[in-house]
Amino acid sequence: MTHLPQIRIPATYVRGGTSKGVLFRLDDLPERARVPGPARDALLMRVSGSPDPYGKQIDGMGGATSSTSKTAVLSKSTRPGHDVDYLFGQVAIDSRFVDWSGNCGNLSAAVGPFAIANGLVAADRIPRNGVATVRIWQANIGKTIVARVPMANGAVQETGDFELDGVTFPAAEIQLEFLDPSDEGEDGGGAMFPTGNVVDRLDIPGIGSLDATLINAGIPTIFLDAGAIGYAGTELQDAINADSKALGMFETIRAHGAVRMGLIRDVREAAGRQHTPKLAFVAPPEDYVAASGKPVRASDVDLLVRALSMGRLHHAMMGTVAVAIGAAAAIPGTLVDLAAGGGARSAVRFGHPSGTLRVGAEAVRVGGAWIVTKARMSRTARVLMEGWVRIPADSF
């Protein structure tokens, strides 16, 4: 029996925020994978080691969690006023699909440094020392992200003393601005509040009626009140992820919320769209101990937030959901605003399973509708490995 050899593809394995993923230049992909479709999806799944019925991704670069089963394809942008086009793919672990329906805010932190290091940003736009401003076109949602990347002696500065809860070691601070994040476009359901309400009532068979804030900002997100579903908002991963009944409840709520947001037509479609919408629950401040053992005091935060990604409680906070938190906190009457004590604010600090995070947002009311013009947060990023990934030539 004849077996084809492996092929090798230039790639960079990076940490961005509290996520990890494999980044590719579009031009480095095999020709048939340079366009969206089954060949590209199959290639990225094989790189990640998916689908894996054991749920471990042993035969690939994925790390067996939603935070570490990520990939992105980047190219020099032809869009005026932008440097790089960034397409994000969330690779399912035990299922055969790549979800292209949204962005990864954490991995966004690695895009600017990658673009600079790989010649995707014009040389005259990169200072030898100081801060390089990289304008990113986020192709999944059709939005602009501005990354401010520190430079030292002509290279991206990766080391530093900025600490990000959920990441063990400090690194250089990268400031991100998500411009006009409150409209996810056609795929995201249109307006920031797709129903026109800051709070909706969801009637969910087998669960009951729940208040929810359904928002398109950063990524389509469903916010619930923690107390209404029997939680305190101080939970760590095992409290949710070890409870199959709880995970089933959250997925049912997410599916019905997705229908109400106009993202899918039938709850059965949610299984094929795991990356969006996200689901999170919020609560007023309370003391708790983060996953690292670090105490978080009620006085340290404005509210508590726990969010699920790809059907599991996230170990920290997705960057895109942080944008949604900041946007919702800036608008009176949302469940996020109420958990923070009411009274819209331009910045909010929230507690998550790994510690705390601060995010800012600017919201204005135009013609009776709320619009968020900008959201801001700081992350870190670091190259972990670069070279080539190898996959069997017949795998895509």
Which domains, from first to last, does the chain contain? 6-173+381-392 (3.10.310.10), 186-374 (3.10.310.10)
CA distances from 142 to 81, 91, 112 (A): 14, 20, 17
Q: Specify the pLDDT at position 303.
A: 98
Q: Over the stretch 11-64, which tens digit does the pLDDT of each residue have?
A: 999 999 999 999 999 999 999 999 999 999 999 999 999 999 999 999 999 999
pLDDT of residue 367: 85
Cβ neighbors of 156 (< 8 A, separation 6 or more) are 113, 116, 117, 132, 149, 150
Residues acting as catalytic residues: 104, 318
* In contact, 336 and 213? CB cutoff 8 Å: yes
* pLDDT on residue 344: 77
Question: Residue 182's pLDDT is what?
Answer: 77
pLDDT in tens, 172-224: 999 999 999 975 444 444 589 999 999 999 999 999 999 999 999 999 999 99
